[in-house]
Structure 1
Amino acid sequence: MLSGRARGNGMTRSWGRAGAEDAGGALDRYAYAYLAGGGRRVAESAVVALTEQGALSLRAGRLRPTGDGVPAAHAVEHAVIAACPRSTRVREVTEAVGRSQPVDDIARRLVRLGLLGGRRRRTTRAGRRLLAAAASEGALPGYVLHGPTALATGPIRHGLLGAHPVPDGLGRTLRRMGKALDDDHGSSAEAAPGGGHGCGGSSGGD
């Protein structure tokens, strides 16, 4: 079991920078996915893997098992399969898997390794170093590090990106901000010297 200190060959050393980098060699793609984007990225990565293997079909924003392809080999992949025994919306699957025990187990291990920290499980400096190294090596699929935007255009990319649209509340806020910017721009144009509409009205009154 990993702890703050590791013993081997009669010697004791701390899990500092070298320890975290050594641990990185044993991390799988789903551990890297968590470091890069949290539980949802883990779930999305498993959906992509299973769909590419032919075990799942993703059409019109819904996932369904095909009964074909390579059997799920990872606990997260088993969680994805269990979350869609029949045609199910992608968002329901990714949200359920993102909160599942296998994903929590990944997070806890990363915390023990010093790659995640704090209550909110943010990636630590050591974790960011591992991500940077993985990105430079190019050994991981792009969607693991960068999410669905790294996928080629097609039903998988479209289905995952469409599964988490901008929340209604945030959408309304963004629209109000845009309208306020437009209003400010219009007011500035009217007030500016020689600025079209405002000055035109004054000229007409002389």
Structure 2
Amino acid sequence: MTRSWGRPGAEDAGGALDRYAYAFLAGGRRRVVESAVVALTEQGALSLRAARLRPTGEVRSTHAVEHAVEHAVLAACPRSKRVGEVIDTVGRSQPVDDIARRLVFLGLLSGRRQRTTRAGRRLLAAVASEGTLPPYVLDGPAAVAAGSLRRGLLSAHPIPDGLGRTLRRMGKALDDDHGSSTESAPGGGIGCGGSSGGD
């Protein structure tokens, strides 16, 4: 007899997920925090200028800050802090870990590498076609209206790991080439590999 663990199917998960769970499926931990920053800025609780987040001490929307991720963002910048630092700190926080754990349990996220599963991608496609989520949840900061918020979030994006490694290797190769050419030519000139002729 097969034991049932009561794990809900992916098709049942859609109604149980909030915007931050969808943000995780769409763009991982970083997207969760970026979405919270946008939401808090829209509520008037944060301002983002010159890539620094500052709390305003007020919330203009009709509902108070409710989600644990939003509380974590506010706690990460009690005064003024670079947006990249807030994203890194909150991305490793317990509220974001809890979202990941729940998505893994629902079969929407892989356990080890935390990548969106096929079921998760189907759910994202369905919610995208409904158009019920703010565009920045699914598409990231590029979907935010032009201005300091969009610039600040986009400027906080790191160079992708693969690209970063490639650029470092290219830089090292160029340094090695430069080093070998200066060694072969006296006086720091570039050697051409031939003699200049002579008497």
Same fold (TM over 0.5): yes
Give 1:104's aligned residue.
97
The change in CA–CA distance for 1:112 and 1:66 in structure 2 (over 3 A counts) is same
Could you tell me which amino acid in structure 1 is paired with residue 154 of structure 2? Answer: L
% same residue: 72
Give 2:164's aligned residue.
170
Number of residue pairs matched by the alignment: 167
Q: Deviations over 1:62-101 (max 9, x none)?
A: 0010011153210000000000000100000011010000
What aligned pairs does 1:111-190 form with structure 2 within 5 A after superposition?
111-166=104-159, 170=164, 173=167, 176=170
Higher strand share: 1
Give 2:54's aligned residue.
64
Q: What secondary structure is seen at the aligned counterpart in 1 of 2:133?
A: coil
Give 1:22's aligned residue.
12
Give 1:189's aligned residue.
none
The change in CA–CA distance for 1:165 and 1:115 in structure 2 (over 3 A counts) is closer
Q: Output the CA distance in 1 between the equivalents of 2:142 and 2:168.
A: 22
Q: Give the 4+ runs in structure 1 shifted more than 6 A.
A: none
Displacement of 1:24:
1.3
Q: Output the CA distance in 1 between the equivalents of 2:120 and 2:55.
A: 34
Q: Deviations over 1:147-166 (max 9, x none)?
A: 10111111110000001243
User: Aligned pair 1:91/2:84, yes or no?
Assistant: yes
Long gaps (5+) in structure 2: 175-199
The change in CA–CA distance for 1:129 and 1:55 in structure 2 (over 3 A counts) is same
RMSD between aligned alpha carbons?
A: 2.5
Q: Output the CA distance in 2 between the equivalents of 1:112 and 1:175.
A: 39
User: Aligned pair 1:38/2:28, yes or no?
Assistant: yes
Q: Output the CA distance in 2 between the equivalents of 1:158 and 1:43.
A: 16
What TM-score do the two structures reach when normalised by structure 1?
0.74
